[in-house]
Amino acid sequence: MTGRSPVRRAIRILPPEIAARIAAGEVIERPASVVKELVENALDAGASRIRIDIRRGGLHEIRVSDDGCGIPAEELPLAVQRHATSKLPDDDLERIATLGFRGEALPSIATVAELTIASATGDRPAGRQLVLYAGQLLSDEPVAHPPGTTVTVRRLFENVPARLAAARNERAETAEIVRVVHRLAIAAPHVRFTLIIDGRTALATSGTGDLRAVVLEVYGTTLADSLPSIEPCEIAGARLSGLVTAPDVTRSSRNHLHVIVNGRWTQPRTLLALVEAAYRPYLPRGRHPILVVVIETAPELVDVNVHPAKLEVRLRAEREIGQAIGDRLSQILARTPRSLTLEPDVSRLDPLRASVAEAGNPYDDRTEDEIVTPAFPPLRLIGQVANRLILLEAPDSLLLVDQHRAHERVLAERLLEHARVPRHHPVPLPEPVLIDVRPAQRERFQRWLDHLAALGFQCEPFGPRSFVLRTVPALPGLTGDADRPEPLAEREQLAPALLALVDELEQQDSDDWHERCLVQLACRTAVRRGRPLTRPAMRVLIQALGETRAPTVCPHGSPIVLRVNHRLLANQFGW
Ligand code: ADP
Ligand code: MG
């Protein structure tokens, strides 16, 4: 495994029966494939520093040098031969602990480019250098080289016009190389990587071995505040750990989902599907987190020989492991409020920000208790802003809570819960609500009465054209005044919302249909934006919100809570 294989074996040609079992394939498709193979070789050689230089998208030149174990002079010619490798210990494809094992990369590169390899080992003063082009040896001479290896690749694909044409877009090739190097660097936090693109340093990692450090080096230190850790744990003989960005930092592609299995960056499909299902409810549609999952397991529990470019591995207990990671992700994402940043994509919040600034809310009620909930740190209620936001103070930040979405979240969870095991008793309405139905609707409504009752809405027929609603699964005390708390936030919404619910329930059309109907109902009956709330009502709402499973995202994936942390304020004010 990377940096953990001190015993170097001699290079030898694989017996034909082993070579035939290796998932062969043209591994060199574009410049980035060259970079990947060369860096993997450097990692397998136990390098602690790897420097990658590329010019013009890698088409002009790719150079990778390392301070690894080097190749003894007498073995160098073997290194560039097909199926020659030093990495398969007992011809045992079941226990592969290195990134390479097929002995194909160097010879494949040498067929499609000019390849110069210079290498020296620590025990001899001089090294040896070979130059090959299109598979032919051009020169072979001694060279001065510090312990380690340097491979230089020029004239890439000059003799393969089709691939050269495909790789013509230098910017796209450079971007792909950067992506590949980022992945390799994240998979090897103990190695110092330098990536130089056309003479300019594009990445420099410190090689401290700390995952968080390398992720910040790759993605920028502005992430520092929004990168919760996945608590390490052990599942099915595998050790799991990792990092994920808070819901306010997302990307539009899945390119930033990094799964590292025994030091190898990979894309295990089943695992990724489970992981995505877990974060989907907490992120806006089409967005993905930056995620690093590190899995360490015995090599025999992993099959790396399933994909020609070694991009996929097969993992024993992949489903179980994916599930475990998914569970942890949803716990983290459900409880991490989005931070308010001053990036362009939140500029649409400007009017709200302005009204926060202007809000002359009395901040004097110091006698009030803090609101203590499982989800949030102790909160002090400041007040309502613009009749739509509840402003709270946490120890290190301000929280802005969208009152409508908060209520919607509470109602949605209560409805879903009620449908399974009623926990909160339905609340009797002081004045029943009359639901008028058209004749065509009457029978339909009647059919769903038991179902509605199970949700906490007890209705009974009332004359030929109406039903009366007597209870609701609501959050009492949100509206009305102290003597006459009103259990319904939006009384006038309820009858139409229940009629719509019955219509939707009739059109059962997917597996999650029932849940979707209830979420709709919650949305229709939740307290509107624009409605003034009393202090006790706000406390009731925040208390209930902090007891939900996912207090920071509404059932549609939009934020409920935004966080303005003190750092941001200090930056903006220049304190
Ligand atoms: P593989 O990595 O699958 O063994 P390669 O063609 O990539 O096949 O490399 C062939 C052999 O050359 C390796 O097994 C290794 O012994 C040697 N080699 C290649 N690159 C390096 C390097 N940077 N440092 C030390 N040895 C290397
Ligand atoms: Mg290799």
Q: Are strands 114-120 and 200-204 parallel, antiparallel or unpaired?
A: unpaired
Q: What is the pLDDT of residue 516?
A: 80
pLDDT per position as a tens digit, 197-255: 999 999 999 999 999 999 999 998 878 878 999 999 999 889 999 999 988 788 889 99
- Whether residue 106 has its Cβ less than 6 Å from ligand 1: yes
- Whether residue 103 has its Cβ less than 6 Å from ligand 1: yes
Question: What is d(CA 19, CA 493) in angstroms, rounded to the nearest whole number?
Answer: 71
- Whether residue 127 has its Cβ less than 6 Å from ligand 1: no
- Whether residue 32 has its Cβ less than 6 Å from ligand 1: no
Q: Taking a C-beta distance cutoff of 8 angstroms, is the pair 129, 143 a contact?
A: yes
The dihedral of CA 268, 269, 273, 274: what is its sign? negative
Q: What is the pLDDT of residue 515?
A: 81
Torsion-angle region of 311 (φ positive above 0: left; ψ -120 to 50: alpha; else: beta): alpha
CA of 202 to the centre of ligand 1 (A): 26
Neighbours of 55 (CB within 10 A): 17
Q: What is the pLDDT of residue 352?
A: 35
The phi, psi pair for 32, rounded to 5°, reads -60, -30
Collapsed DSSP state (helix, strand, coil) of residue 246: coil
Collapsed DSSP state (helix, strand, coil) of residue 5: coil
Counting beta carbons within 10 angstroms of the beta carbon of residue 369, is it exposed (0 to 12), middle (13 to 18) or buried (19 or more)?
exposed
Task: Quote the distance between the C-alpha of residue 100 and its chain's center.
Answer: 27
The phi, psi pair for 476, rounded to 5°, reads -70, 155
CA of 212 to the centre of ligand 1 (A): 30
Domains defined along the chain, listed by start: 16-204 (3.30.565.10), 220-336 (3.30.230.10)
Collapsed DSSP state (helix, strand, coil) of residue 109: helix
Neighbours of 481 (CB within 10 A): 10
CA-proximal residue: ligand 1, atom 14 (nearest): 85
Question: What is d(CA 279, CA 286) in angstroms, rounded to the nearest whole number?
Answer: 11
pLDDT per position as a tens digit, 184-204: 999 999 999 999 999 999 999
CA of 2 to the centre of ligand 2 (A): 12
CA of 89 to the centre of ligand 2 (A): 15
The phi, psi pair for 535, rounded to 5°, reads -60, -45
Collapsed DSSP state (helix, strand, coil) of residue 258: strand
Question: What is d(CA 176, CA 145) in angstroms, rounded to the nearest whole number?
Answer: 30
The token pair at 343 is 């990036």
User: Closest Cα to residue 427, out of 416, 414, 440?
Assistant: 414
Is 0.75 topped by the overall pTM?
no
Q: Taking a C-beta distance cutoff of 8 angstroms, is the pair 524, 411 a contact?
A: no
Question: What is d(CA 78, CA 72) in angstroms, rounded to the nearest whole number?
Answer: 10
**Secondary structure string (H, E, C) spanning 390-442:** EEEEECCEEEEEEHHHHHHHHHHHHHHHHHHCCCCCCEEEEEEEEEECCHHHH
State which ligand 1 atom lies nearest to the alpha carbon of 106: 6
User: Closest Cα to residue 336, out of 231, 223, 248, 467?
Assistant: 248
Q: What is the pLDDT of residue 360?
A: 34
Q: Which helix (H) or strand (E) holds 265?
A: strand 264-266
Q: What is the pLDDT of residue 220?
A: 85
What residues does 52 pair with on adjacent strands? 64, 195
pLDDT per position as a tens digit, 263-294: 999 988 999 999 999 999 888 788 899 999 99
CA of 108 to the centre of ligand 2 (A): 10
Q: Taking a C-beta distance cutoff of 8 angstroms, is the pair 381, 372 a contact?
A: no
Question: What is d(CA 432, CA 425) in angstroms, rounded to the nearest whole number?
Answer: 17
Q: What is the pLDDT of residue 90?
A: 64
DSSP assignment of 456-502: T--EEEETTTEEEEEEE---TTSEE-SSSEES-SSHHHHHHHHHHHH
For 560, half-sphere exposure in the C-beta direction (CA atoms, 13 angstrom radius) is 29
Task: Quote the distance between the C-alpha of residue 164 and its chain's center.
Answer: 34
- Helix residue ranges, H only, 129-268: 161-166, 170-187, 211-219
Residue type, position 218, single letter: V
Q: What is the pLDDT of residue 512?
A: 76
Question: What is d(CA 53, CA 150) in angstroms, rounded to the nearest whole number?
Answer: 11
Angle at 337 between CA 335 and CA 338, to 5 degrees: 140
State which ligand 1 atom lies nearest to the alpha carbon of 69: 25
Q: Which helix (H) or strand (E) holds 325?
A: helix 318-335
Q: Say which residue the tokens 């207990």 belong to.
A: 317
- Helix residue ranges, H only, 167-317: 170-187, 211-219, 269-279
Q: What is the pLDDT of residue 480?
A: 60
CA-proximal residue: ligand 1, atom 13 (nearest): 85
The token pair at 544 is 């209930």
CA-proximal residue: ligand 1, atom 8 (nearest): 103
Q: What is the pLDDT of residue 327?
A: 94
Q: What is the pLDDT of residue 226?
A: 82
- Whether residue 111 has its Cβ less than 6 Å from ligand 1: no
The phi, psi pair for 357, rounded to 5°, reads -65, -35
Q: Which helix (H) or strand (E) holds 451?
A: helix 449-455
State which ligand 1 atom lies nearest to the alpha carbon of 42: 23
- Whether residue 183 has its Cβ less than 6 Å from ligand 1: no
Task: Quote the distance between the C-alpha of residue 390 and its chain's center.
Answer: 29
**How far are the Cα atoms of 33, 45, 98, 147 from residue 4, in angstroms, in the given order?**
24, 9, 9, 18
Question: What is d(CA 399, CA 565) in angstroms, rounded to the nearest whole number?
Answer: 8
What residues does 137 pair with on adjacent strands? 132
CA of 42 to the centre of ligand 2 (A): 8
Residue type, position 128, single letter: R
Collapsed DSSP state (helix, strand, coil) of residue 213: helix
Mutate which of 41, 85, 115 for ligand 1? The one with the most ligand atoms within 8 Å of its CB, which is 41
- Each residue's pLDDT, cut to its tens digit, for the chain (575 residues) gives 444 555 788 887 776 666 555 544 457 889 999 999 999 999 999 999 999 999 999 999 999 999 999 999 999 999 998 878 887 766 566 666 778 777 789 998 998 999 999 999 988 888 999 999 988 999 999 999 999 999 999 999 988 888 888 877 899 999 999 999 999 999 999 999 999 999 999 999 999 999 999 999 999 887 887 899 999 999 988 999 999 998 878 888 999 999 999 999 998 899 999 999 999 988 878 889 999 999 999 887 887 766 666 666 778 889 999 999 999 999 998 888 777 665 433 333 333 333 333 333 344 445 678 898 888 888 999 999 999 999 999 888 899 999 999 999 988 888 887 777 766 677 888 888 899 998 888 888 999 898 888 888 899 999 889 999 998 876 666 666 556 656 667 778 888 888 888 888 888 777 777 788 888 888 888 888 988 888 988 998 999 998 888 888 887 778 899 888 888 888 788 88
- Whether residue 128 has its Cβ less than 6 Å from ligand 1: no
